[in-house]
Amino acid sequence: MQTLIAVGVVVAVLLLVGLVMALRLVWQYEQGVLFRLGRLRGTRAPGLRVIIPVIDQLRKVSLRIVTMPIQSQGIITRDNVSVDVSAVAYFRVVDAVKSVVAIENVHAAINQIAQTTLRKVVGQHTLDQTLAETDTINLDIRKILDDTTASWGVEVTLVELKDIQLPETMKRAMAKQAEAEREKRAKIINAEGESLAAAALGQASDTMMAHPLALQLRNLQSLVEIGVDKNTTVVFPAPLMSTIEELGAFLQREGASASTWDPRLEPAVPTANGAAGPVATSLPG
């Protein structure tokens, strides 16, 4: 009787262990690949699945998107500049059977091929293209990886360059280049401003030549602006050419008056000793 009880307990324990070994839980984001005696028997959908212990083996494969950082790679660009470039890749398994049967370790394989592709693609571009055309480089790397990993049942969804490290000498050279470029733009803008100001001044001078009173009004306005500061001394420049013309006309008038003057025609006035003499006249100025 005791022997039967012991045998029953052993059988129950073996059945319980066998049941535990026969049950497999496949999560919603996974897919099971079943092998029976080493041969592929198909896939198993998510849920509670029963297999034959020891005979069957169920490999569960995650179908979620995997984020894989690509280590920084020392790369020489096409214009012989050494840079360190790191990136990040996103991929997911689309065929669970191929990811298990076609390759041993899909994650390690994608990591290695991603590093190689990163060096290859960046090395075909110059430094300026690497810095300015990152979107094109990302698409090229993604296309190469996608074509390579398609036979492994993997789809590369996205590749992005994460960081580009430049040598210190190259950083200083680029800073000088940017400074020179900004200085060039400043000079061009200044020259354009001088050109526009010269054109505006030319138009203003033409207007003042056509309307002489406009210059006088402008002078009065300048006097008003100066008077706001309550200065005790005001030095105001007069128009040079008009002043010279007026001075010349004044000298001509005075010269003509002097050439026609005759002392005998002047009325006589008594002097201190009683004699008569000419009347002294004073010239203006």
Q: 51 with 123, same domain?
A: no
30, two tokens: 């996974």
Q: 58 with 71, same domain?
A: no
Q: Is residue 212 part of a domain?
A: no
Q: 75 with 140, same domain?
A: yes
Give the domain range for residue 123.
66-171
Q: 42 with 139, same domain?
A: no
Instruction: Provide CB contacts within 8 A for 174, sequence distance 6+.
Output: 166
Residue 135, domain CATH:
3.30.479.30
Angle at 72 between CA 67 and CA 75, to 5 degrees: 130
Number of structural domains (the chain) is 2
54, two tokens: 């020891």
66, two tokens: 């995997």
Q: Is residue 228 part of a domain?
A: no
Q: Is residue 72 part of a domain?
A: yes
Q: 26 with 118, same domain?
A: no
- What's residue 272's pLDDT? 45
Residue-level pLDDT, tens digit, the chain, 285 residues:
677 777 777 777 777 877 778 888 899 999 999 999 889 888 889 988 888 888 888 999 999 999 999 998 888 888 888 899 999 999 999 999 999 998 888 999 999 999 999 999 999 998 888 888 899 999 999 999 999 999 999 999 999 998 888 888 887 888 888 888 889 999 999 999 988 888 888 888 777 777 766 766 777 777 677 666 665 565 655 555 565 666 677 677 777 776 665 555 555 545 445 444 444 444 444
Q: Give 224-272 pLDDT, tens digit per residue.
A: 776 666 655 656 555 555 656 666 776 777 777 766 655 555 555 454 4
User: Whole-prediction pTM value?
Assistant: 0.60
Whole-angstrom distance, CA of residue 68 vs CA of residue 118: 13
Q: Is residue 165 part of a domain?
A: yes
Q: 12 with 41, same domain?
A: yes
Q: Is residue 210 part of a domain?
A: no
- What's residue 81's pLDDT? 86
37: left (phi over 0), alpha (psi -120 to 50) or beta: left
N- to C-terminal Cα separation, the chain: 157
Q: 39 with 84, same domain?
A: no
